Every structure is written in structure tokens, then in C-alpha cells.
Chain A
């Protein structure tokens, strides 16, 4: 049905896929698993014609294909349902289903009665009761998902790819989804199912392919393996050489920051964590587990809905970034472009942004002082750029990241939170960032590192806090630390 052989795909600075194989048969549900950043999304986008592979070949339906656009893959019967639905909330269900393939009548105008009839029939085939005239915005998320699947049926789908379909629905709705997927499977549709909820894979999938760091690891019949074996396939690898050893002996000081039952509206529930001076604490968990929101709650980027933050014994029930900075906190955000850098501005302006007072007198910026600070930081962190006046937009991801780290390392005196500090940066910059974290910790700063990369968590941290679905599910000390243990906490089966 679909065979990918030796597919490779590179983006500037990263090899996203390296010699990946995948073999999907008609009438099977094939799980695709791997940690965040393993290359699952890139692979599905390659299958769907969004990306063209640099190497390797795709054989689909008995032919070797070279799709140049998603449209070609779509007309060949491949349909992808992304985590974010591609629906137009203000249009009706029927209009959404036939979007781009409108049923036409006289004069090329849309034939609404026909649209309505066809939509009804498709929804019936799926066995769902949705009125095609309802607006999509009025539907539940589960029903919206059904509309997405109905869209796939318009095109005589042969291969359906679902990216984390159960991330947005729960319990009963999941059961209904599975029922419909099984029905599609009976019809001979091949399904690629991406999920990090491993128990679902054992429930519904026939085979599983494991990916790691853009590499193909293995394919197995689901019946032949158990959960622990699957986890070890997903994590097994040694990356310890990347991580610089701690300088000297570990000496942790007092607790400098503590959250007491901190909640952030709907995203974090009653989180209580402690950070100690000189300690690198990792905050692990799956994407969407509420880690970023917890960090923003501590820093004042998002309002706390309840609970408090205690910094050096002082309790705050409200926090603003300006106050957090004054109290010695720093936050390296996950989203460099969105929340980290003013891209049009230069290196110097971005470095000094969080502490303009240090370079100003009487409200005027002392340019000489600013440039001097920027030059020092560029040297200290080996930021590759043409100088302090280089706009950050033209720099590589790793160097941009170092600019942000330099900014906060300079101004934070107690706690530095780094959210996915090495995402999208090359190996060299990674090692550099690890080194900086070690140095700051040695200076007595408490480090909280949010990371989805398990080897990084294991290699760098002195202690790990794990979150799942907004709740802190456990804590692991250095000697309890393993990728498997973290995975167990991060994906723990819902108490049914």
C-alpha cells in the first residue's frame, strides 16, 4: 500500500529524517511512535506531499510517486488530520466537508440541496448524528473531529493519517473514534496513527513503527511486544558524551523558589514544586502537559488563578514579569521568535532588553556602555555574529538562543527557567548551552529546565519533576533517574 524506503530530509542545520523506512498495508492501523522531535511530523508531511524528500523513494499503491504538492497526494487518496483542525468555524458542517470541492449546480453556483444530501450521506456512513446545517463552531470538539474525517471520505480516502487524534477528546469520545477507525479499516483503508498514549496503541493498532531522532528504530507487530519493550525502543540510546560533567562536587543550597498549589487557568492544577540554589531541576512531560504554563505562571507571564509563588521566603499571590526580574528570576522562553526576541532589533538591544536601567542614565541609553556589554556577552557565550549591531533575524537558531540565554544569565541572580533551551539548535550550540547551565548552577543559581528530550533530562539534571495533563505526577532524584521512569510518570495510565 505505502512503502517508504530510506527517506531522508534535511532542513537548514538539522537532519530531520535520516534513512527512514515505513511500510503500511491496506486495512491495518499502523502506529507511529517516538519522542517529541523524533521526526514523526516531518515524516507524515513527507507522505502528504508537504515536503519533498531529499533521498529515498515513496511507493504508493504500487507506483513510485514524487509528489510536489499536498494537492497531488490528496487526489491520490491520502488524507491527514492534524492536531489543529483545518475547519472554518463560521461555515456550516456541509460547507466545511465539501470545501474546495463544492457541489455545483446551474451557472457554477453552489448547489446547496445537493451539498446537504451528500453531507448527510457521508455523516451517516460514519455513523454520527450531526446536522450538516450546524455551524462548526457550535459542535463539540469530538464532532469537529468527525467532520474532519468526513472531509477525508469525500476524496475516497485510501490512507488516513491521524496526528494525536485523542489529544483533544476523552473517554467515551475516544471509544467512538476507535469504533469508526475500525470500521474504516474494515473498508480497506490504511491508517497511520500517531499518539504518545501508548495504551491506545495496544488497544487499536496492528503494527507499530518506532522512530528516534529522525532515525528508523524498528517495526513490530503490536501483539508481539509489551509496553515496557515499546518504551525501551523509544528511548534506548546513549547521548551522555554531549553533557559536560558538573564542575566540582554537587552542593545544593536552600530552597530559593517554591510554588504552593499554583494553578494556571485550566492548564496547571495545584502544582507545588521547589527549586534549590545550585541545582539543575528538569521539568519533564509530554508536550501540552502544562510545563510552559507553569513556568509562565511563576514568572508572571500568565496570571495565577490560585496558589502562590515563594521567592526567598517572600510570598506572592500575584506576579508580573517586571517584579519577577526584580526578584532575580529569568525566563528563556520556548518560542524564540514569538516570545524571546525582537527579531528586527540587533544583538545589543536584545541582550540589554531586560535590564535597560543598567545601560541608561537620566533616561538616555549610554550606547558605549551598551555596546561594551554586548561585546562582552558575545565573547563570553561565543555568539557568532558580525557584532553587537547585527540584527538577530539573520542569525542561526543556536546563536539566537545564546542571545536570549545571555540576556537572562546577565540579569538573573536566583532562578533561571529555560523552556526547551536546545530545541532547533545545532549540536555545537547545544553543548554550549549545557555548559552555560552548569556554570550558572555552579554560581549558585537555581535552574529549572523544561525539556521534552529525555536524554537531555537524564544527562543534565540533578532532579526531575514530571507533569502530565497539568498535574505534577512525580519527582525523581538523581539515583532514581532513567528515561523509562520518566516515561512511566509522563504517560501514566489514567486511573479508570
Chain B
């Protein structure tokens, strides 16, 4: 690759000397990192971290975890154990057992997993009811301002979890440093991989319409 190829990755960890002058970009990044460390030290790890800071924050947290006492509180421990047992039992029973630290345990696939084994009449009847309802609404509202289509009867009541939705890529990608302004290839790879996980999860849970 040519030295000035904008698609080249910058040298990793090209760390300046301690007393070297810092430019505005580095100062801004350092300040953002310092604020993340403030939260970690205060025992309030940030929920969302710009991806360019993520690995560095993990290094700092890992360093602290190795030399300072770390506690997993009793109530937290019990909650995690309970959740793990529920997930394992659910998986053993043929469910999906997906558990998230941040989302309530309402598997979106539960409705889908109960669908197996129904008669074709039931499927046909349900589909027809849905279609009839949609057709009625369409005929009634034709020409009126656009309204959202009715939710199919077989879909789960809960809205889709965030990770299964089309959404801005900012939290995934984080702030883009100047030296990575042209690294669109890396970012599309990251976005694609992330959305592919979501797509597969939706596919497996039967949530795709």
C-alpha cells in the first residue's frame, strides 16, 4: 500500500513520548477517556462507550480488576445464577434461552416456538383473519393519512429489542478519529457483522415478517 493510502490503517499504538505536545484531537480524546475513567472509578461503568475508546477502557478496567478487590454482590450473583439456570432450562426444553444483561427476560421467540405442530387450518385461518383485518382497514382508510399497519396476531406483544432493529450506527462505531477518516471499509465490516447477528437472531426466533 502507498504511504498516503487513505484506506491504510494507522500504526497501532504509536504512543507519543510523555512530554510531547498534544494536538486538539488528542486532547479531546484524552478528555473523553478521562471522563469514562471517572465513571469506572466511581463504580458506574458507562453503558455505551465509543468503540475507539472501548478497548482502551477495557485495558484500564482489567488493570484495575487485577490489582484491586473486585466484588460481585450477593444479590447480583443470585440474579445472574437465576437467569443462567432459567436460560439453560429453557434451552434444554427447546426454547431459545437468550438472556441479556440489560433487557428483561421476555424472549421474542416464545410465540414462534409455540407455533410448531399447528394444523394447516389454524395457520390458514389465522393468516386469513389477519389479511381480512388488514384489508378492511385498508379499504376504510384508503385516501386517509397514512396509518401504521396492524400488528399480526401471531407476533410477540413486546417491541423488538434494540439489537434486532435497524438503527443508527453511531453507538457501534463511535467517534471517528481524524487518522481513521477514510477507514470506511472497517466500519462497514463492523456494521454488517453487527446487523448480521441481529438478522440471524430474528430469523431464529421466527420474528421476520
State yes or no: do A and B come from one complex.
no
* Residues of B that sit less than 8 Å from A by CB: none
* Residues of A that sit less than 8 Å from B by CB: none
